[in-house]
Structure 1
Amino acid sequence: MARPVPVRLLPAGERGALRITDRVVAKIAAQAAGEALGDAPGGELVPKDVRPHATVSVRRQTARLRLALELGYPADLGAVCGTVRRHVTERVEMMTGMDVPEVAVEVERLHTAASPGEDERRVR
Structure 2
Amino acid sequence: MTPVTGPPGDTRRPLTAVEAGARGATRIADRVVAKIAAQAAREALDPLPPDAVPPHATVVVHHETARVRVHLELGYPTDIGARCNAVRRHVAERVDALTGMEVPEVTVHIERLHLVPATAAAQGRTR
Q: TM-score range by the shorter chain?
A: 0.7 to 0.9
- How large is the RMSD of aligned CA atoms in angstroms? 1.8
Mapped contact 1:57–1:64 kept (Cα < 8 A) = yes
Question: What TM-score comes out, normalization by structure 1 length?
Answer: 0.82
Find the aligned partners of 2:30 and 2:22 in 1 and give their Cα distance: 24
Unaligned ranges ≥5, structure 2 = 1-8, 119-127
Q: How many residues align?
A: 110
1:35 partner amino acid = E
Runs of 4+ in 1 over 3 A off after TM superposition: none
Task: Say if 2:99 is the partner of 1:91.
Answer: no
Question: What TM-score comes out, normalization by structure 2 length?
Answer: 0.80
Q: How does 1:28-39 map to 2 (within 5 A)?
A: 28-39=36-47
Question: 1:61-119 CA distances to partner (integer Å, 9 max, x unpaired)?
Answer: 0000000010000000000000011000000000000000000000000000359xxxx
- What SS does the corresponding residue of 2:78 show, helix, strand or coil? coil
Q: How does 1:1-124 map to 2 (within 5 A)?
A: 3-39=11-47, 43=48, 45-47=49-51, 50-113=53-116
Unaligned ranges ≥5, structure 1 = 116-124
Percent identity reads: 58
